[in-house]
Structure formats: C-alpha cells, structure tokens
Amino acid sequence: MATIININAEQQSTSNTLDDLHLYFAEDLSQVEATLTAHLASAASLIPEVSEHIIGAGGKRLRPLLTLSASRIAGYRGAHHITMAAAVEFMHTATLLHDDVVDGSDLRRGKPTARKIWGNPTSVLVGDFLLGQAFRMMVAAGNLATLDVLSNAAAVIAEGEVMQLAAMRNADISEDNYLRIIEAKTAALFAAAAEVGGILAGASETEIEALKSYGKNLGIAFQLVDDALDYGSVNRVLGKNTGEDFREGKVTLPVVLAYRRGDQTGRAFWERAMSAQIDGSNDYEADFEMAVQYLQTTGALQDTVARATHFGERAKDALALFPPSDMRTLLIQLSEFCIARAY
C-alpha cells in the first residue's frame, strides 16, 4: 500500500486562510483571550491551572471566530460579541474536558489530556465550572434570545454525546444516524455560535437563519474532515492524533461507509476492530494499517471528504444572501479551510 507522509503545500496555504481571519479579528480575539483569562480566576487554584492547560493548548478558536464573524457580517456595533465569543469557547472547553473522561482519552492533539494529568474527577468538575462561568457571562451580556440558543445547544450537545455513547463500538449504525449524532454533538455549537452573532446584531430572521445554517453545515463538514484525518485522510497525512478514534473503537463516517461497502471479511474486521479487542493488542499497528487499507479500497475516506465538501458548499451558499464584503469572503474561505485540511 502506497503511503504518502506529507504536510503538503495545500495545507500551508489553507493555514494561511485561517490566519487571514485571525488577523482580521486580532483586536477582538485578544479581548476574547483576556475575557477567558479573567473568568478563570478562582479560589480553587486547580481551576485556572487545568483550564489553561486545555484553553492555552493552541486551539484554533473556530467557535468564537464564528460569533465574531456573524456579529460583524450582520453589522453589530456593540461589545457583547466579545463576552459571547468567550462564553462559547468555555462551553467548548467544558465539552472537551468531559469528552476526554467519557472516551478515556490520554492524548488530545498529541498532548496528555487533563484527565491523564489531573484525573477524571478534576476534569469533570473543572468542566462543570466552565459551563457555569459560560452561563454567567451570557447572563451578564443580558440577552435572553442568545441565552435561549446557547442553553439549548448545551442540552443538545450532551444528547448527541449520549447518542454516540449508545452507538459506541457499533459499526452497523446508518449514515443518517451518524449524521444526526454529529449534528448534535459538534454542529449544534457551531450553529449556536454563529446564530448568537446574528441575534446580537438584531439581524432579520432570514439572516439569523442563514448564519445558523452556515455554522451548522460548517460544523458537520469540520467533524467529517476530522473523522477522515484520524485515518490520515485521502493523502495519508499523518497528524498528531492519527488513529485515536480507531484505538478507542469510535465509529465515525469512514468506518460506517467501509463497513456497509465491505464484504464478509471486511465487516468481520470492523466488528472486531470496533469491539474492545484491538486496543492494547500486540498487533495494533498492523490492525491500523489494515483499517486504512480497507478505508482506501472501499473509497470510504475519499467519500467522507466528498460528504464534507457537500456540507462545506451548503455552508457557503447559506451566506449568499449577504452582500459581498471582506467578511463574507473570509467566511467562505473558512469553509474552504475546513475542507482543505483533509488534503
């Protein structure tokens, strides 16, 4: 099997695309960072320590950027977008802390997880704290409609996670079901992050709906590309977290497609792989190689990215009703960045 290990030129240019957005919002983002830090202060010193480990780990701040962008494109002139963007990032961080406990993950982006360093109890409680702080910040911004959207997202995310847990290790779930899960666990926060930007700006219902749709479709595309990247994606780009989903028996779209398309032997392989039997086995490397081979021969990785591209296109079209602007161009580039990561 041909293996191309390649942090390629394409990736270079896409990371520049996100740089443009970071540059555009440099001022706002630094205020968001300051807001995050200010709200980590606590009499319990573990709280800032653990939170900074994960918040400071160089995330892309995609969700806060959605809030900032959506409020900008809808013409917002106030200051609450900073608070809301920071609250959204806290919500996201809380879910990361809890997800790592739920999945028993020791690594995130190649670094030890908080639960690995400080244990599950601390990760659960610091996540709870961040969720509480997120709501405090939203309340301080004083807008009930945004609170409605984000509290709804909080419940939906947890529902999505529970659905994923129930489907855990079951390679037999349908593509529709899988999409329903990631729409809840991942895309709901992207959608809410963009929607609240529009609400803050007092945008029309149609515009708010467009921003929400942009966020939702972007979120689905983003998750599907993540799913593909876990197996090196179509070009076999090996990243820091390659193989984490496989090791944890997490059924993602590549597996759903490869399983459905597979023959008897292929399906038996996936059933064994998604069961608890592979993690810790001596043949883990060989199993992973086999998985990638199955994913490539069935076209599952290619088509996961094709599905992602479809949602990325829908995200872009959702913005078509806004007149052309630098901001709109940047949001379209953001959607392209989410897809281009796959290559």
Q: Among 10, 111, 116, 135, which residue interacts with a copy of itself (rule: CB under 8 A)? A: 135
Least gap, CB of 150 to a copy of itself (angstroms): 8
Which member of 101, 208, 273, 342 binds a copy of itself (CB under 8 A)?
A: 101
**Helical packing angle, 253-261 and 264-274, nearest 10°:** 150
Hey, which residues between 15 and 54 contact a copy of itself (CB under 8 A)?
42-47
Q: Which of 19, 52, 128, 289 binds a copy of itself (CB under 8 A)?
A: 128
Cβ distance 343 to 233 under 8 Å?
Answer: yes
By CB under 8 A, the residues from 209 to 268 that bind a copy of itself are none
Rg of the chain, C-alpha, whole Å: 20
Locus of tokens 């917002």: 76
Q: Under rule CB under 8 A, how many of the chain's residues touch a copy of itself?
A: 46
Candidates 54-62, 71-79, 138-146, 320-328: pick the segment binding a copy of itself (CB under 8 A): 138-146
Question: Whole-angstrom Cα distance, residue 81 to residue 72?
Answer: 9
Name the residue type at position 146.
T
Instruction: Name the one range near a copy of itself by CB under 8 A: 67-75, 116-124, 219-227, 307-315.
Output: 116-124
Q: Which of 147, 199, 278, 318 binds a copy of itself (CB under 8 A)?
A: 147
CA dist., res. 303 & res. 297, Å (int): 11
- Write the CB contacts of 181 (distance below 8 Å, at least 6 apart in sequence): 160, 163, 164, 167
- List the end-to-end C-alpha distance of the chain, in Å, as a whole number: 18
Nearer to a copy of itself, 120 or 235 (CB): 120
CB of 153 or CB of 171, closer to a copy of itself? 153
**Selected range binding a copy of itself among 141-149, 254-262, 271-279, 284-292, rule: CB under 8 A:** 141-149
Selected binder of a copy of itself within 16, 142, 202, 204 (CB under 8 A): 142
* Least distance (Å) between residue 97 CB and a copy of itself: 10
**Considering the complex, what minimum distance in angstroms separates the CB of residue 307 from a copy of itself?**
22
- Considering only residues 150 through 179, tell me which ones interact with a copy of itself, judged by CB under 8 A: 151-159, 161-163, 165-166
Sole window of 57-65, 67-75, 101-109, 205-213 interacting with a copy of itself (rule: CB under 8 A) = 101-109
User: 252, 223 in Cβ contact below 8 A?
Assistant: no
Report the DSSP beta bridge partners of residue 111.
108
**Residue number, 107 or 125, with CB nearest to a copy of itself:** 125
At residue 301's C-alpha, the angle toward residues 329 and 19, to 5°, is 30
Using an 8 Å Cβ cutoff, are 175 and 256 in contact? yes
Task: Write down the least CB distance from residue 240 to a copy of itself, Å.
Answer: 24
User: Within 13 A of 208's CA, how many CA atoms are on the CB side?
Assistant: 16
Closest CA to 230 of 159, 288, 281, 290: 288
Using rule CB under 8 A, residue 121 touches a copy of itself: yes
Smallest distance, a copy of itself to C-beta of residue 264, A: 32
Angle 297-219-122 from CA coordinates, rounded to 5°: 100
d(CA 335, CA 222): 9
Contact positions vs a copy of itself (CB under 8 A): 42-47, 95, 98, 101-103, 120-122, 124-126, 128-129, 131-133, 135-136, 138-140, 142, 144, 147-148, 151-159, 161-163, 165-166, 180
